[in-house]
A and B are shown apart, each in its own frame.
With several copies, the nearest count.
Chain A
Amino acid sequence: MKAKVIVMPKRSVLDPQGVAVRDAIHHHGVSAVKAARVGKFIELELDGTQTEAQLHEICRDLLSNPVMEDYEVLLEK
């Protein structure tokens, strides 16, 4: 059993990495990319004993920083 967690910078927060990536892609000659944002992808292997509340707690307290980031969590059986 797996959980996949995506942590992304909030829209209003500056994402310097995203800007650098977009510019690099343009330099690469691909102008189709209008914007880029860079976040984290975290894969958790689970033994099934966790609760959903626990997962959200981990995401909120450890994996993301709610002041600047949003997260999304997907459970895969």
Chain B
Amino acid sequence: MTEPAITPELIAKHGITPDEYGRIQSILGRDPNFTELGIFSVMWSEHCSYKNSKRELRKFPTTGPGVLVKAGEENAGVIDIGDGWAVAFKMESHNHPSAVEPFQGAATGVGGIIRDIFTMGARPVFSLNSLRFGPISEKAAAANTEPATLATNRRLFAGVVSGIAHYGNCIGIPTIGGEVYFDESYNGNPLVNVFCLGVLKHEQIARGAAKGIGNPVFYVGAETGRDGLAGAAFASRDLTEESKEDRPAVQVGDPFREKLLLEACLELLATDAVAGIQDMGAAGLTCSTCETASRGGTGVEIDLAKVPKRETGMTPYEIMLSESQERMLIIVKKGHEQTVCDIFEKWDLPYAEVGEVKDDGMMRVLNEGRLVAEIPASKLADDAPLYEREAKARPLPAELDLATLPEADVHRSLLDLLAYPSIASKNWVYRQYDHMVRSGTVVLPGSDAAVFLIREANKIVAATSDCNALYCSLDPREGARIAIAEAARNLACSGAVPLAVTDNLNFGNPHNQENFWQLRESVEGLAEGCRAFNTPVTGGNVSLYNQSPAGAIDPTPTVGMVGLIADEKHVTTSHFKSAGDVILLVGELGDELGASHYLKVVHGRKEGRVPRMDFGRELAVQEAVRALISSRLVRSAHDCSEGGLAVALAESCQSGGSLLGAQVDLGQTGLRLDQALFNESQSRIVVSVTAQNASAVQALLEWRGVSARRVGTVGGEQLVIRCNGAETAWSLTELHGAWYDSIAKVMEA
């Protein structure tokens, strides 16, 4: 078979710039052949090389006493949780594949992140998912939105949720939490970020390095097909109408195969046979061979003829660039080959010895003995060009002028907010996920953070994912700072101490100067937050080029945060527990309406100054609530986020098994009523305590210098809020009717 000649057009088609091509020539000391060109193009894509974002990522704090494996070192970071146990966790995006084929795109995203975790030697124990779509209902969309756009968004949403359910449920890893937001900016470009956490003993950490000259290299798992050809390159381009024609980019996930692969790999890792292990994710065989060689400071030689294939007549180019799912590369200690064969036979999985670790630092690819590619591995893996893109600041929005804002009816407004899909209960989503398998989910989805009992380690961890992209679109730095603070706050409300962070940076095309500025501001904001909360970043993912013809998405730096709960008695949920309990607002009453969901949902305005985040005050509030929880004084804790205090109260009335009303009196506030109820000032937590403990709790908070006020009591068939002498009441059925089935009503119509 003759390969295409290397022409400037072919080079451009591979997304390689003339400068980059020059760099390739100097690395090789010659022109690359077609296969080599393909290899460089995927390894030097943004998705694999982070060439546009790496300089920014260096700003994250990545070290700390508990960090066992740092960000970027391996497939996922590893954090100590005590008693010789550790957790590995990471977040990964599958935005573009999900835009083209939502079910399989989301499913393979879940499969990919799970492989990242068990590659580390960890047993995956739970997942989260963070999703963004365009609006799904007429009511929640801009006035001129086409019905077809809404229908597409619903189809994407339904497809993504069932894809995640399909993969996660089948493989038996519970999906215990997440977030879903809807906004016009995601029309045509949904975000699908998936998170997985696994548990392991310190000594079980597996490495993705090709160590030991002469060690055999094994390919295990599913056969290679033409699917997902060059998906990494695909994820590093803007989405266009033609993307739908990018048929080969569709990969089909097989969670059943992955379950077998997971069990077989963990069984194998428990033996002494493995020198290194690496999953084949983006850029498949290419990425796994050159990265293991680069990490090991060695070379790897493989023969493509030995690779198990699903289709006939595949070229070396296709085999090297295929992104078929459910495959791994394993460097086996010489003499232990039989162990590998026995275990993979037992699990009925394909495997093959495809090559050997060499001492010359080359990634050498043969096909039936004939040389098809030869590239210095470390140069390919680590010497991609790095760019400092031009940034142009967008002016920060002015403070909202309340005089321009008509005061809406607060009764109606709260119901509208509760029914708004971003705020409404997500039960339609998480009911489709098996969130209880593995018998560890102590706090089910629906509270502030998910809480999971890791039985192997006898540890209780809490996890959450957060990002208010509306804030980020107006002020990316402050929005990112708030994302970290909110994640930490959600953990605090659950009784947990934050440990570490993983992030997923979703932005538009970095060649656009404003987009790049958003990325940089967000990274710096996240970094500030991580330092404030002492939570190093252990890894994450960058997804750029999130644009549709209408423009870039709102900047969305999603944060996944993991914390530890010291004692099972500290596990706390967000819903009220019994009538007669006293409700306290920890933190200020607040007054910032800028960038709020009230403005967006009720007034159709995405504007105003983003609430200020004062880390000192935030930490004081979180620590105070955690201290109260440790003293077992708190019956429920729920932070104020989208929709402010009124939404937080309404959620606490109904997120438990049964409905419980509340009588609230805010007194004379000096604020407008809508401002008092719906402002989104930060650092506020609604807690309920027994009547008996109320004064003691207030005294404790005062002693800690944290402002708090007694705002009411739990009980009754209504939520009643008195403020500035006016009284507004909502029946529980009314609140529940707005909030609970809002998404189901839209999706099942």
A contacts B: CB pair < 8 Å: yes
**A20 located at the interface, meaning its Cβ lies under 8 Å from any Cβ of chain B in the complex:** yes
- Interchain CB contact under 8 A, A13 and B256: no
CB-CB under 8 A from A67, the residues of chain B are 100-101, 244, 247, 250
Contact with B along A2-17 (1 / 0, CB 8 A): 0000000110111110
Main secondary structure of the interface of A (DSSP, over half): loop
CB-CB under 8 A from A10, the residues of chain B are 247
**CB-contact partner of B254 in A16, A65, A68, under 8 A:** A16
Q: How far is the CA of A12 from the CA of B312 in the complex (A)?
A: 11
A14 and chain B: residue at smallest CB distance: B252
- Interchain CB contact under 8 A, B225 and A14: yes
- Name the distance in Å between B103's Cβ and chain A's nearest Cβ: 8
The interface size bin for chain A is 10 to 19
- Interchain CB contact under 8 A, A16 and B252: yes
- Name the distance in Å between A7's Cβ and chain B's nearest Cβ: 14
Contact with A along B235-262 (1 / 0, CB 8 A): 0000000001001101110101100000
CB-CB under 8 A from A15, the residues of chain B are 252
**CB-contact partner of A68 in B252, B310, B311, B348, under 8 A:** B252
CB-CB under 8 A from B250, the residues of chain A are 13, 67-68
CB-CB under 8 A from B310, the residues of chain A are 14
**CB-contact partner of A12 in B244, B254, B311, under 8 A:** B311
Contact with A along B252-293 (1 / 0, CB 8 A): 101011000000000000000000000000000000000000
Q: How far is the CA of A13 from the CA of B250 in the complex (A)?
A: 8
- Interchain CB contact under 8 A, A16 and B104: no
CB-CB under 8 A from B324, the residues of chain A are 14
**B227 located at the interface, meaning its Cβ lies under 8 Å from any Cβ of chain A in the complex:** yes
- Name the distance in Å between B216's Cβ and chain A's nearest Cβ: 27
CB-CB under 8 A from A12, the residues of chain B are 225-227, 248, 311
Q: How far is the CA of A47 from the CA of B585 in the complex (A)?
A: 64
Q: How far is the CA of A65 from the CA of B101 in the complex (A)?
A: 9
CB-CB under 8 A from B251, the residues of chain A are 14
Number of interface residues of B (CB under 8 A): 21
- Interchain CB contact under 8 A, B252 and A13: yes
| CB under 8 Å from chain A, chain B span 189-227 | 222, 225-227
CB-CB under 8 A from B244, the residues of chain A are 67
| CB under 8 Å from chain B, chain A span 1-51 | 9-10, 12-16, 20, 23
Q: How far is the CA of A67 from the CA of B248 in the complex (A)?
A: 9
| CB under 8 Å from chain B, chain A span 41-77 | 65, 67-68
| CB under 8 Å from chain A, chain B span 339-375 | 348
- Name the distance in Å between B148's Cβ and chain A's nearest Cβ: 11
A16 and chain B: residue at smallest CB distance: B254
B249 and chain A: residue at smallest CB distance: A67
Q: How far is the CA of A50 from the CA of B53 in the complex (A)?
A: 54
Q: How far is the CA of A31 from the CA of B348 in the complex (A)?
A: 17
Q: How far is the CA of A13 from the CA of B311 in the complex (A)?
A: 10
Q: How far is the CA of A14 from the CA of B256 in the complex (A)?
A: 13
CB-CB under 8 A from B101, the residues of chain A are 65, 67-68
Q: How far is the CA of A9 from the CA of B245 in the complex (A)?
A: 16
- Interchain CB contact under 8 A, B227 and A14: yes
- Name the distance in Å between A56's Cβ and chain B's nearest Cβ: 18
- Interchain CB contact under 8 A, B227 and A13: yes
Contact with A along B293-328 (1 / 0, CB 8 A): 000000000000000001100000000000011000
- Interchain CB contact under 8 A, A20 and B227: no
**CB-contact partner of A16 in B226, B247, B256, B311, under 8 A:** B256
Q: How far is the CA of A23 from the CA of B225 in the complex (A)?
A: 19
CB-CB under 8 A from B222, the residues of chain A are 14
| CB under 8 Å from chain A, chain B span 147-165 | none
- Interchain CB contact under 8 A, B247 and A14: no
Residues of chain B whose beta carbon lies under 8 Å from any beta carbon of chain A: 100-101, 104, 222, 225-227, 244, 247-248, 250-252, 254, 256-257, 310-311, 324-325, 348
Beyond the given pairs A12-B227, A14-B225, A67-B100, 14 more chain A to chain B contacts, judged by CB atoms under 8 angstroms and listed by A's residue number, are: A12-B225, A12-B311, A13-B227, A14-B222, A14-B227, A14-B252, A14-B254, A14-B310, A16-B256, A67-B247, A67-B250, A68-B101, A68-B104, A68-B250
29 contacts between A and B (CB under 8 A): A9-B252, A12-B225, A12-B226, A12-B227, A12-B248, A12-B311, A13-B250, A13-B252, A14-B222, A14-B227, A14-B251, A14-B252, A14-B254, A14-B310, A14-B324, A14-B325, A16-B252, A16-B254, A16-B257, A20-B256, A23-B348, A65-B101, A67-B101, A67-B244, A67-B250, A68-B101, A68-B104, A68-B250, A68-B252
For the complex of A and B, 8 pairs with smallest distance between CB atoms: A16-B254, A14-B252, A67-B101, A12-B226, A67-B250, A68-B250, A13-B252, A14-B227
